[in-house]
Amino acid sequence: MKTMKAVVARGLNDYAVEEVTLDPPKADEVLVKIKATGICHSDLSVINGTIPVAFPMVLGHEGAGVVEEVGENVTNVKPGDHVTLSFVPNCGDCYHCLRSEPYLCLKSTPDGKMMDGTVRVHKDGEDINVMQFLGNMAEYSVVPSMCLVKIDDDIDMKAAALVGCGVTTGVGAALKTAEVKPGSTVAVFGAGGVGLSIIQGARIAGAAKIIAVDLSDDKLAIAKEVGATDVINASGDAVKEVMALTGGIGVDYGFEAIGIPAVVDQAQKATRRGGTMTVVGVGKLDQKLELNALMFPLTSKTFKGSMYGGAEFKVDFPKYLELYKQGKLDLDRMVTQTYSIDEAVQAFDDLVAGKNARGVIVYD
């Protein structure tokens, strides 16, 4: 059993760094010493209730680290291996895994327990859940082996962490969900970690015009550095400005990467007739997206939802990290601030204030 620091959410807007204990890995589980944890908007969505979960819960679902110990039957990794964590399992046997759709794996549950329905994190006899099998906003994490991908030892751990959620979600939304074509036009509403990754995916796909839309000029500046050809501050009429940049037609591919229905509406209005609108941002359970009953068929648009960038993560994590190594995917520019785990609350304050493209917690 280990004693460690972890960021524990105990109820809505109630979270702190706590000392907890961690059991050793059971069969098909792995103990990982966490080296980097990305602070994703979905962690905030757990804290503020947008994503309903069972508290108490260790936060964190975007991370990378080094394998320290493996349980029985584990063959895909060994102690010393560098790994990126996937918050969606890949059981290999369910309806979706058998159809190359592991991003929809039926073993994925929001209950915060391990595959066998028990937990590994405790405090004074109390069971503590973990976010999406990982709970890696902590010094260590015990995770199902099916959630791990071995990566090369020379890859920066911050970059490796980002690939665990935001980068795979965004790059995959462009390359795999929307299937952006060379020479096409793209508009991305929201230029945080996921939006910047969509922009990079569109650039890699060869899009001719990539328009970034955000309220933050700082994020728009980063968007330009990683591939946006045009930027629009959303404080004005963003739809009108997208139309002006596309000869009054609209873009071939619209993306929403925030999770606000009104912004989805803007993004779909900025998408041309016959174009493809992809919703990546996650809104609240009781919110609805509206389609106009007359215009939806008449404009012949395609609406898509994109979960985890349509990732087959065992194939896609290494692919995206190879693009990073080759300089085609700029992950270093996306990390705008690092924190120690003791500074986790500050890191969330900065996220709420819109200060970071991506903040990352790093560990000794």
Q: Summarize as ranges the residues that interact with Zn ion (CB under 5 A).
A: 40, 42, 91, 94, 97, 105, 165
Distance CA 342, CA 16 (A): 9
Residue 132: CB minimum distance to Zn ion, A:
9
Residue 122: CB minimum distance to Zn ion, A:
25
Residue 9: CB minimum distance to Zn ion, A:
15
Concatenating the DSSP letter of every residue in 183-207 gives: T-EEEEE--SHHHHHHHHHHHHHT-
Residue 135: CB minimum distance to Zn ion, A:
13
- Per DSSP, 135 falls in state -
Which residue in the shown chain puts its C-beta closest to Zn ion? 40
Q: How far is the CA of 126 from the CAs of 57, 123, 138, 363, in angstroms?
A: 11, 5, 17, 26
Residue 123: CB minimum distance to Zn ion, A:
25
Residue 97: CB minimum distance to Zn ion, A:
3
Closer residue to Zn ion, CB minimum distance, 84 or 268: 84
Closer residue to Zn ion, CB minimum distance, 234 or 257: 257
Residue 13: CB minimum distance to Zn ion, A:
19
The residues pairing with 188 across neighbouring beta strands, listed in sequence order, are 212, 255
Concatenating the DSSP letter of every residue in 206-240 gives: T-SEEEEEES-HHHHHHHHHHT-SEEEETTS-HHH
Residue 86: CB minimum distance to Zn ion, A:
11
With beta carbons less than 8 A apart as the criterion, state whether 180 and 204 touch: no
Identify whether 297 is preceded by a cis peptide bond (ω within 30 of 0).
Answer: no
Closer residue to Zn ion, CB minimum distance, 270 or 360: 360
Distance CA 251, CA 271 (A): 5
Closer residue to Zn ion, CB minimum distance, 94 or 221: 94
User: Which residue is it, tokens 């976010």?
Assistant: 131
With beta carbons less than 8 A apart as the criterion, state whether 105 and 116 touch: no
Q: How far is the CA of 237 from the CAs of 133, 178, 218, 244, in angstroms?
A: 41, 25, 19, 11
Which structure tokens are listed for 58? 């260790």
The alpha carbon of residue 36 and the mean position of all alpha carbons in its chain are separated, in whole angstroms, by 14
Closer residue to Zn ion, CB minimum distance, 136 or 246: 136
User: Which residue is it, tokens 């000869």?
Assistant: 247
> Residue-wise over 296-322: b if at least 16 C-beta within 10 A, else e?
eeeeebeebebbbbbbbbbebbbbbbe
What is the longest distance spanned by two Cα atoms in the chain? Answer: 64
Distance CA 42, CA 51 (A): 8
Closer residue to Zn ion, CB minimum distance, 108 or 184: 108
Residue 293: CB minimum distance to Zn ion, A:
34
Closer residue to Zn ion, CB minimum distance, 276 or 356: 356
Closer residue to Zn ion, CB minimum distance, 90 or 229: 90
Closer residue to Zn ion, CB minimum distance, 161 or 267: 161
